[in-house]
Amino acid sequence: MSSHTPSPVKRLTAPEIYARKGGTPLVSLTAYDAPMAEILDDHCDILLVGDSVGMVVHGLPNTIGVTMEMMILHGQAVMRGARRAFVVVDMPFGSYEGEPEVAFANAARLLKETGAQAVKVESGPTVARTIAYLTQRGIPVMGHIGLRPQAVNVDGGFRAKGRTPEEREKVLQEARDTDAAGAFAIVIEGVAADLAGEITAAVKAPTIGIGASAACDGQILVVDDMLGQFDWSPKFVRRYAALRETISEAAAAYAKDVKSRDFPAPQETYFAK
């Protein structure tokens, strides 16, 4: 089929995701490459090309060092694997917090160069103006409130939110401002369980929780965490596989076979006599 012909598989759209408020919970995972996106596409409504890619794939200590170029490269890879899922690309630290015009140029570049349908920004009162600016100009925006990993240097670490009344009010205000600005969905990360329920009831957009209780309108996890790729993960992660052990055992078996010359066998070589 020519690349000018629309795909026969219908992709989810931002309005369809918005309409899922209060319905069947939205299923979402992160994805950073094409083969993983292809596998996850059958099961997920939303695939997020998260800036967590910097930590999960590139070994950075946090997400501050993630660049537009990294997000574009991984966004392109995910779009080659995903067919049906709605693909969102995280805007990296430094690409959207200043003038809305600059945020628009960067967001437009992410959509044009990857083919993804939407961007995500870590949001609050300041960024709300930018969410409205982008949405009014044709770019669907997902918000992200509560534990905002890009605020790691202000917060002094990755800290769950909602312990004090002041902090609860601050997160609730982030949610209200993000919602009023026109976000089509809002990620709530690392907040007190009852606060996530309060926020979900207070906003029109569907909420997607990560460490934020089952009261949200959907859930997201970092795919490598739920596959058991790391020996440590945040308390909100449930492991559905043990990839770290599987990969280590496979590598150990391969090493043993290479050293014993058991691998490669004749059927694994060419023109063996």
Ligand X SMILES: CC(C)C(=O)C(=O)O
Active site members: 189
Give the shortest CB-198-to-ligand MHF separation in angstroms. 19
Tell me the C-alpha distance between 61 and 231, whole Å: 16
Residues 175-214 that bind ligand X (CB under 6 A): 187, 189, 210
Q: Which two tokens stand for residue 164?
A: 């004090």
Which string of x and - marks every residue 89-108 that binds ligand X (by CB under 6 A)? -x------------------
> Of these partners, ligand MHF, Mg ion, ligand X, none, which one is at the site of residue 18 (CB under 5 to 8 Å by kind)?
none
Tell me the C-alpha distance between 74 and 67, whole Å: 11
Cα-Cα end-to-end distance for the chain = 43
Q: Which of 112, 137, 159, 204 binds ligand MHF (CB under 6 A)?
A: 159
* 90 vs 177, beta carbon nearer Mg ion: 90
The annotated binding site for 3-methyl-2-oxobutanoate is made up of 51-52, 90, 120
Bridge partners (DSSP) of residue 29 are 47, 221
Give the shortest CB-7-to-Mg ion separation in angstroms. 27
Other beta carbons within 10 Å of 192:
18
What residue type is 101 in one-letter code?
E
Q: Which residues contact 153 (CB under 8 A, 6 or more apart)?
A: 64
- CA-wise closest residue to 42 among 14, 82, 7, 80: 82
Q: Which of 92, 182, 190, 218 binds ligand MHF (CB under 6 A)?
A: 190
* 242 vs 255, beta carbon nearer ligand MHF: 242
The annotated binding site is made up of 51-52, 90, 120, 122
Q: Which two tokens stand for residue 192?
A: 């007190």
Which string of x and - marks every residue 40-79 that binds ligand MHF (by CB under 6 A)? ------------x--xx------x----------------
Report the chain's C-alpha Rg in angstroms: 20
Question: Could you list the residues that contact ligand X (CB under 6 A)?
Answer: 30, 48, 50-52, 90, 144, 187, 189, 210, 220, 222
